């Protein structure tokens, strides 16, 4: 597509889609006209991809996820279509700057963090690898809240991402499904006289599809992200309406539409929220009904379902799908239980994302019975057959059987969704090698012993398109100039950079790029926070959700330690560092919110103290999201991956930093282990207890205060926080944090403190030799190839889904 063609299309859209003369058009109007122009291009590929799917007998990967954290579409689509230069020129001729138009897009923040972003990276890789795929999820009207920092505290602002419309989605009012809730079940006799069960629900909502094209990188494959939006059912409305209950009818509409109103902003389940169960069932039911409709449309028998669809459960959030598919097959399609079960198990795969026992989803049984009475019966039946087979073939004792049961009978009865997912899936995977091993030894041990062949590992990955080519154009240009552009789709080619780490001229260029990225981030941070950072300093960055297990407070204890050293000796020669933090806390997570306040409080003192602020600064970047993440990863020198060993399933931010040439300071947790294996232990700053050591320490009886007594720098740091030094003399604000650490410290912050500080001192030593630092930085990028989501998706396709590449030909329409 040439610049003049693009220009014409933008002008046409201004006139025909938006209805504004160019002279009156705003930046937002131009953004939309450009977005629609780009969408037209995608749509050609989209139609061909759907066509290929309908004409050939192909299998499609269906990724079921309650979250898709897509980030802005425009830049990514320009990159994948390869039309950025032409577009830049076209809009320039119309008096616009492309960067200004890119800034007009509101990012669709339909996810909390790693899990949602992983789904987005996987959609990018599926399309790029030319694998047919459908992403199924929820079209939340309000995504993850916008975070503002006021007086150092997090404030949550409603994310009205749809307020100016969304040019990337296409509503499909003809693709709708009814989803029932509540009521009861009853026996009846079918035409053949057989006794069957029927669900008599007392409410229904309608789900409508909104499709977003997912364009692969420089290929014709364009897949679909299909998000469901809840609407009231006319039939139900009409009843009330006709009987004169107009307000009742509207009321029902309001209730129905609340189902997809808002994303739950927790990155751990909040126990037993009814609306969340409604959301899960709603989107899963729509998605499975959609698959069955697609099967019918192709004239395929129901039995072939698992040959046509591989359905992956992104954590347990969609795991009700196991019971729903059984219901659709047994109740609605009248398959035998045995046939339906074979289909179900062959269809599903389950990805686990957490080892924290408190983060495993369970639903109170009474809630389940009230909303999904038929599904509860189905789960009982699955459980009865499962436990009978366990007793029979494995001769397990009662304790064992209790532990395996889909129902937790300790205290208030609850449904264990991870157990349902395991029983209903032929493949079960963790998201990093260590995590997959620990799963087998801890939370899913009993299932592993039953079905070792179902367990496998799929180490996470991130897309190099968004997180390198798009986020770091300068480094990408340097790399491409040096080794060609094959690395964008074959990241293992980054290895060709290794010898250049010995080339002084190349190192200089590498440093200049990093410097320029740091300047850009410094400009952004100054604008957002008023805090000035010097790009010649080390940028030490921790961005991720705020969580005790991720230990942002360990990081801030290091800052306070350096502060104390400098206060004691203002002439102390320390390498100047900017500590950059970012991340959202769940609104109800009390301690996490205090950690944010502490970071900002320490920042205020440090940044305004002339004794220290020439060597130390602290900035909290408000509202960490995909968009500003793209500015942050490329500007980092040091990546903080300091979770307590055994707690972070994988991490994916760690991969984004490594790809962009940051060195990591980290524990042996999640994918850190594999990152260190790849980049070499001499290029990674390792500290902290291993998983085994943490377990041993906790078994022995961990006494955090002993570490304070044994370490004067730690004692001094804790004393300072408690004294109100960072809180204008207020000794109350941080008391809960200090007490929690001193009395229980569930994530072993104090136990790892001394080793962390020693390791940070080592980091500072290496930083003093820029040539060596740069050498290590280059080697980190060069050896990060494994962490591409292309590698991960290839493994899913080959080892779990059996989904093959399907090149899409564009037929000439002329």
Q: What is the binding site for ligand F55 (CB under 6 A)?
A: 112-115, 118, 266-269, 353-354, 431, 460, 648-652, 670
User: Which position among 416, 545, 553, 597 bears the catalytic label?
Assistant: 545
Give the integer Cα–Cα distance in Å for 25 and 793: 42
The CB-of-169 to ligand F55 minimum distance in angstroms stands at: 23
Determine the Cα–Cα distance for residues 345 and 16; give it in Å rounded to an integer. 49
C-alpha closest to that of 802 among 345, 347, 310: 310
Least CB distance to ligand F55 at residue 364 (A): 15
- Complex with ligand F55: residue 152 or 666, whichever CB lies closer: 666
Closest residue by Cα to residue 105 from 489, 621, 627: 627
Q: Which of 41, 416, 518, 544 is catalytic?
A: 544
**415-450: string of b/e by CB count within 10 Å (b at 16+)?**
bbbbbbbbbbbbbbbbbbbbbbebbbeebbebbbeb
SS3 (DSSP) at 717: helix
* Nearest residue (CB) to ligand F55, 269 versus 582: 269
139 part of the active site: no
Task: With both helix axes pointing from N to C terminus, report the angle between 735-743 and 590-607 in degrees, rounded to the nearest 10.
Answer: 110
246-258 and 234-242 are packed helices; what angle lies between their axes, rounded to 10 degrees?
160
Based on CB atoms, which residue is closest to ligand F55, 273 or 490? 273
Query: Tokens representing 624?
Result: 């960490």
| Token pair for 587 | 């609104």
Q: How far apart are CA 641 and CA 654, in angstroms?
A: 7
Active site residue 435: no
Kindly state the smallest distance separating residue 397's Cβ from ligand F55, in Å: 33
Q: How does DSSP classify residue 784? A: -
Marked catalytic residue, from 13, 131, 353, 458 = 353
Q: How far is the CB of 648 from ligand F55 (least distance, A)?
A: 5
Nearer to ligand F55, 361 or 509 (CB): 361
Alpha-carbon distance of 249 to 260, in angstroms, equals 19
CB 457 within 8 A of CB 436: yes
Which residue minimizes CB distance to ligand F55? 114
Catalytic residue selected from 347, 652, 664, 774:
652
Helix spans in 608-711 (H): 626-632, 653-659, 672-679, 691-700, 704-709
For 215, residues 6+ apart whose C-beta sits below 8 A from its C-beta are 42, 45, 77, 80, 81, 127, 221, 222
Give the torsion sign (CA, 124, 129, 130, 135). negative
The tokens describing 305, both together, are 């379902």
Q: Is 367 exposed, middle or buried (0-12, 13-18, 19+ CB in 10 A)?
A: middle
Name the minimum Å distance from CB 416 to ligand F55. 15
Smallest distance from ligand F55 to CB 524, Å: 25
Beta carbon of residue 652, minimum distance to ligand F55 (angstroms, whole number): 5
656 catalytic residue (yes or no): yes
For the question of residue 353 being annotated catalytic, the response is: yes
Beta bridge partners of 232: 205
Token pair in block for residue 797: 């396709």
Q: Three-state SS for 415?
A: strand
| DSSP structural state of residue 262 | B
Task: Return the H-helix or E-strand segment holding 562.
Answer: helix 552-568
Q: How far is the CB of 311 from ligand F55 (least distance, A)?
A: 18
Q: What are the two backbone dihedrals, phi and then psi, of residue 625, each rounded to the nearest 5 degrees?
A: -150, -175
By beta-carbon proximity to ligand F55, the closer residue of 62 and 115 is 115
Cβ proximity to ligand F55: between 344 and 436 the closer is 436
Kindly state the smallest distance separating residue 89's Cβ from ligand F55, in Å.
39
| Of the candidates 575, 556, 558, 559, the residue with the CA atom closest to the CA atom of residue 765 | 575
Give catalytic status of residue 317 as yes or no. no
Between CA 264 and CA 272, with CA 267 as vertex, the angle to 5 degrees is 60
Exactly one of 131, 416, 550, 558 is catalytic; name it: 550
550 is catalytic: yes
User: Which neighbouring-strand residues pair with 196?
Assistant: 188
- Residue closer to ligand F55 (CB basis): 213 or 688: 688
CB of 237 to ligand F55, least distance (A): 32
Annotated catalytic residues are: 353, 544-545, 550, 652, 656
């Amino acid at each position: 597509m040439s610049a003049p063609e693009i220009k014409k299309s933008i002008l046409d859209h201004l006139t025909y889609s938006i209805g504004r003369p160019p002279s009156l058009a705003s930046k937002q109007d131009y953004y939309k006209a450009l977005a629609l122009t780009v969408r037209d291009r995608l749509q050609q590929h989209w139609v061909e991809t759907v066509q290929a799917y309908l004409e050939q007998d192909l299998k499609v990967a269906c990724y079921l996820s309650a979250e898709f954290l897509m980030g802005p579409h425009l830049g990514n689509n320009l990159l994948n279509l390869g039309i950025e230069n032409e577009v830049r020129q076209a809009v320039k001729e119309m008096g616009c700057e492309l960067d200004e138009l890119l800034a007009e897009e509101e990012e669709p923040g339909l996810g909390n963090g790693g899990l949602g972003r992983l789904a987005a990276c996987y959609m990018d890789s599926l399309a790029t690898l030319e694998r047919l795929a459908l992403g199924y999820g929820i079209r939340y009207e309000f995504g993850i809240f916008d975070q503002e920092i006021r007086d150092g505290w997090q404030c949550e602002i409603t994310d009205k991402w749809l307020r100016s419309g969304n040019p990337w989605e296409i509503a499909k009012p003809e693709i709708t499904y009814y989803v029932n809730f509540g009521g009861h079940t009853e026996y009846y006799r079918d035409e053949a006289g057989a006794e069957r069960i029927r669900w008599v629900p007392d409410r229904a909502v309608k789900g409508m599809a909104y499709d977003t094209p997912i364009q692969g990188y420089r290929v014709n494959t364009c897949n679909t992200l299909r998000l469901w939006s809840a609407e009231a059912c006319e039939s139900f409305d009409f009843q009330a309406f006709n009987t004169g209950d107009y307000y009742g009818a509207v009321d029902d509409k309001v209730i129905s539409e609340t189902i997809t109103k808002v994303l739950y902003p927790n990155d751990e389940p909040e126990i037993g929220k009814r609306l969340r169960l409604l959301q899960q069932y709603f989107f899963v039911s729509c998605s499975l009904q959609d698959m069955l409709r697609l099967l019918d449309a192709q004239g395929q028998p129901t039995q072939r379902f698992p040959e046509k669809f591989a359905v992956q459960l992104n954590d347990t959030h969609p795991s009700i799908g196991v019971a729903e598919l059984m219901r659709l097959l047994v109740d609605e399609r009248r398959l035998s239980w045995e046939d339906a079960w074979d289909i179900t198990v062959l269809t599903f795969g389950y990805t686990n994302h957490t080892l924290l026992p408190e983060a495993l989803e369970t639903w109170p049984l009474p809630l389940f019975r009230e909303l999904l009475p038929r599904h509860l019966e189905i789960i009982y039946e699955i459980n009865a057959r499962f436990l009978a087979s366990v007793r029979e073939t494995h001769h397990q004792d009662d304790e064992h059987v209790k532990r395996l049961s889909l129902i937790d009978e300790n205290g208030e009865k609850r449904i264990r969704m991870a157990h349902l997912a395991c029983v209903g899936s032929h493949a079960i995977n963790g998201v990093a090698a260590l995590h997959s091993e620990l799963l087998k030894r801890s939370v899913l041990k009993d299932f592993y012993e039953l079905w070792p062949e179902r367990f496998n590992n799929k180490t996470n990955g991130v897309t190099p398109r968004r997180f390198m080519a798009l986020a770091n154009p300068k480094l990408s240009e340097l790399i491409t100039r040096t080794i060609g552009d094959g690395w964008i789709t074959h990241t293992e080619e980054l290895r060709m950079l290794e010898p250049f780490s010995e080339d002084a001229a190349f190192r200089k260029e590498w440093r200049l790029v990093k410097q320029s990225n740091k300047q850009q981030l410094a400009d952004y941070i100054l604008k957002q926070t008023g805090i000035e950072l010097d790009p010649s300093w080390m940028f030490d960055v921790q961005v991720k959700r705020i969580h005790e297990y991720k230990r942002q407070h360990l990081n801030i204890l290091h800052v306070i330690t350096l502060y104390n050293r400098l206060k004691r000796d203002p002439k102390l020669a320390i390498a100047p560092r900017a500590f950059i933090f970012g991340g959202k806390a769940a609104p109800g997570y009390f301690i996490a919110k205090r950690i944010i306040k502490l970071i900002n409080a320490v920042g205020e003192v440090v940044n305004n103290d002339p004794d220290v602020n020439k060597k130390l600064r602290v900035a909290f970047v408000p509202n960490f999201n995909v968009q500003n993440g793209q500015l942050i990863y490329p500007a980092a020198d040091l990546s903080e991956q300091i979770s307590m060993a055994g707690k972070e399933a994988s991490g994916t931010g760690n991969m984004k930093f490594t790809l962009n040439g940051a060195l990591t300071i980290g524990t042996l947790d999640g994918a850190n282990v594999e990152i260190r294996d790849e980049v070499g232990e001499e290029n990674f700053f390792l500290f902290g207890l291993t998983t085994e050591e943490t377990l041993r320490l906790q078994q022995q009886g961990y006494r955090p205060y002993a570490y304070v007594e044994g370490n004067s720098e730690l004692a001094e740091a804790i004393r300072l926080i408690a004294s109100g030094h960072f809180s204008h003399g207020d000794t109350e604000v941080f008391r809960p944090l200090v007490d929690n650490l001193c009395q229980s410290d569930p994530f072993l912050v104090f136990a790892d403190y001394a080793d962390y500080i020693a390791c940070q001192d080592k980091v500072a030593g290496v930083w003093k030799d820029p040539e060596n630092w740069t050498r290590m930085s280059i080697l980190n990028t060069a050896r990060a190839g494994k962490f591409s989501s292309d590698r991960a998706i290839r493994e899913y396709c080959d080892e779990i889904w059996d989904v093959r590449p399907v090149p899409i030909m564009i037929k000439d329409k002329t």
